[in-house]
């Protein structure tokens, strides 16, 4: 999905994050559309290595969709992007540097669109009215 001749960094959600945060699995019919949108939020057209990030000091990068990413390192040397912590970092796949994240880097509007409303929560709200 990314050009092969350019260097990219990808803050890729783990399989568990896809299931937990996006309620998505491999058999979902809309998984390609969701994945494409998530890649737009989490792909940066340059390498961002762990070595260039500082503990507790955010650097701002712009993703290919124009979404602002605030990246730093925590005390355990894990990459943190917009509050999402990495599970694995610095995996190289050709010209792509991948940091596997324990969550999904996305904007608030997209997050709301993929989060189903909890039916139990709606029932509790109605009971209080």
Which position has the token pair 């509007």?
109
Three-state DSSP class for 69? strand
CB of 110 closer than 8 Å to CB of 21:
no
Which position has the token pair 């960094």?
9
Least reliable range by pLDDT among 17-31, 84-98, 107-121 = 107-121
Which residues make beta-bridge pairs with 92?
97
- Report DSSP state, residue 109: H
Which residues make beta-bridge pairs with 11?
99
Q: How far is CA 39 from CA 6, 56, 66, 105, 122, in A?
A: 15, 25, 12, 9, 32
Average of pLDDT values for 53-57?
93
pLDDT at 62 over 50: yes
Least reliable range by pLDDT among 22-26, 40-44, 74-78, 84-88 = 22-26
In the chain, how long is the greatest CA-to-CA distance? 58
Average of pLDDT values for 118-123?
47
pLDDT for 119 equals 44
pLDDT for 52 equals 93
pLDDT at 107 over 70: yes
pLDDT for 122 equals 46
For the segment 75-97, what is each residue's pLDDT rounded down to a tens digit?
A: 999 999 999 999 998 899 888 99
pLDDT for 121 equals 46
pLDDT for 102 equals 96
Domains of the chain: 8-128 (2.30.180.10)
Average of pLDDT values for 46-63?
94
Average of pLDDT values for 6-29?
83
Burial class (CB in 10 A: 0-12, 13-18, 19+), 11: buried
């Amino acid at each position: 999905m990314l050009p092969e001749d350019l260097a990219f960094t990808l803050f890729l959600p783990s399989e568990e994050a896809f299931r937990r945060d996006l309620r998505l699995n491999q058999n979902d019919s809309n998984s390609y559309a969701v994945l494409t949108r998530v890649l737009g939020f989490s792909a940066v057209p340059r390498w961002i290595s762990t070595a260039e990030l500082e503990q507790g000091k955010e650097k701002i990068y712009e993703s290919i969709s124009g979404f602002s990413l605030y990246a730093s390192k925590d005390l355990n040397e894990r990459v943190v992007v917009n509050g999402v912590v990495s599970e694995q970092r610095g995996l190289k796949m050709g010209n792509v540097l991948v940091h596997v994240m324990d969550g999904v880097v996305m904007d608030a509007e997209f997050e709301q669109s993929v989060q189903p409303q909890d039916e139990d929560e709606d029932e509790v709200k109605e009971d209080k009215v």
